Amino acid sequence: MALAFEDLKVLQVSERLCDGVWEEVRRWDVFARETVGNQFVRAVDSVGANIAEAYGRYHFGEKLQFFYYARGSLFESKYWLNRARSRNLYPVEQAKSLEKDLSDLIRSLNNLINSTRSQRNGRSSKTIRESPAPYNTTPDKFFTDTDPNTLPNY
């Protein structure tokens, strides 16, 4: 049975992270919130939104495109976190924890992307394949000495 999109781990982690960023940014002064904060919140919110959008798409190509958008938003989120950290807007320990969480989420999303690509290509890690049969191309091995004599003459 298929999972509801709310059951996807990458989406759950994304929602937790964006809610945490939201709570932190709302404490900033107006200038910081309007310059860095708005962009940061939009980027981190976009991760989960694109994962949800991908889940709702039927074709693998579309799903992958939205997963790529989500991955791009993760890198943008890391950029805004670096800006917030360099401007002393984000608490140091909290920033380190968020940076690790964003990196972990990128790895999880990459796994989801690879899994989706494999499904699109009809490959699965559970596919059972036969080992290939030996293929002989040397002419002297095609027939035994008596085999040509058994062929009909035309």
pLDDT-derived band of residue 89, with 50, 70 and 90 as boundaries? very high
Residue 153 CA to residue 109 CA, distance in Å, equals 66
Can you give the pLDDT at residue 152?
65
**Above 80 in pLDDT, residue 94?**
yes
Least confident of 12-16, 109-113, 114-118, 142-146: 142-146
First-to-last alpha carbon distance for the chain, in angstroms, is 62
- Sorted by where each starts, the structural domains of the chain and their CATH numbers stand as 5-120 (1.20.1440.60)
Dump the DSSP string for the chain. Answer: -PPPGGG-HHHHHHHHHHHHHHHHHTTS-HHHIIIIIHHHHHHHHHHHHHHHHHHT-SSHHHHHHHHHHHHHHHHHHHHHHHHHHHTT-S-HHHHHHHHHHHHHHHHHHHHHHHHHHHHHTT--TT---PPPPP----GGGTS-SSHHHHSPP-
Least confident of 71-80, 83-92, 118-127: 118-127
